């Protein structure tokens, strides 16, 4: 997507649509990943992909790959910013999390033990989770880009 934008080429199909089509084809042709295929029947409607992998703008992952000096959360200063921390624990996302949980009939807060039941119990709940993860992770990704900008706190990569 970056190369296409940089080249100035314009295509009938957007770079995002091309990427999604490549992913769809790889998933369909893959002999592995049956569990993922079962959970994600339509990649365009799925939650933010990094939620499933734990990769992305999580301090734990960024520290593991050498982009961060620690696994600390930049939003609440917790010592271990993981996907689980971000989605279920970080106080920075409490309001967004409550908004998502308002469509829940679980009677308890969402957590790793009940989130699959929550998201698979109906389209409204799936959409609530997808909206929540997209909003939170997009915000984290924007913050990550700001940190990496020239002159930003991490303008020089650690690796």
- Does the residue 21 lie in any domain? no
Q: Which residue has the tokens 């990550």?
A: 144
pLDDT exceeds cutoff 90 at 41? no
**Residues 92, 100: Cα–Cα separation, whole Å:** 14
- Does the residue 22 lie in any domain? no
Q: What pLDDT was estimated at residue 151?
A: 60
Q: Which residue has the tokens 């690796």?
A: 159
Nearest one of 46, 51, 2 to 20, comparing CA atoms = 46
Predicted TM-score of the model (pTM): 0.65
- Does the residue 62 lie in any domain? yes
- Does the residue 158 lie in any domain? no
- Does the residue 72 lie in any domain? yes
Quickly list H helices, 65-157.
83-84, 94-101, 115-120, 123-148
pLDDT exceeds cutoff 80 at 38? no
- Does the residue 42 lie in any domain? no
Rg (alpha carbons) of the chain, rounded to whole number: 17
The Cα-based distances of 17 to 9, 29, 38 in angstroms read 15, 18, 22
75 versus 17: the higher-pLDDT residue is 75
- Does the residue 36 lie in any domain? no
Helices (H) and strands (E) in the chain, counts: 9, 0
Domain holding 62, by residue range, is 47-148
pLDDT exceeds cutoff 90 at 91? yes
Q: Which residue has the tokens 């049956």?
A: 34
Mean pLDDT of the chain: 77
- Does the residue 117 lie in any domain? yes
> Does residue 57 contact residue 141 with C-beta atoms inside 8 Å?
yes
Looking at the 3D structure of the chain, how many domains does it have? 1
154 versus 103: the higher-pLDDT residue is 103
**Beta-carbon neighbour count of residue 23 at 10 Å?**
15
């Amino acid at each position: 997507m970056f190369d296409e934008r940089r080249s100035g080429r314009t295509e009938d199909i957007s770079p995002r649509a091309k990427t999604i089509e490549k992913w769809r084809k790889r998933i369909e042709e893959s002999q592995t990943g049956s569990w993922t295929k079962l959970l994600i029947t339509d990649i365009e409607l799925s939650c933010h992909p990094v939620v499933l992998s734990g990769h992305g703008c999580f301090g734990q992952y960024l520290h593991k790959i050498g982009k961060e000096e620690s696994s600390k959360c930049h939003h609440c200063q917790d010592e271990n910013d993981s996907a689980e921390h971000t989605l279920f624990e970080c106080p920075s996302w409490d309001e967004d999390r409550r908004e998502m949980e308002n469509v829940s009939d679980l009677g308890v807060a969402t957590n790793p033990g009940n989130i699959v039941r929550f998201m698979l119990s109906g389209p409204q709940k799936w959409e609530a989770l997808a909206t929540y993860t997209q909003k939170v992770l997009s915000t984290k990704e924007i913050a990550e880009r700001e940190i990496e900008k020239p002159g930003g706190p991490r303008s020089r990569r650690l690796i």
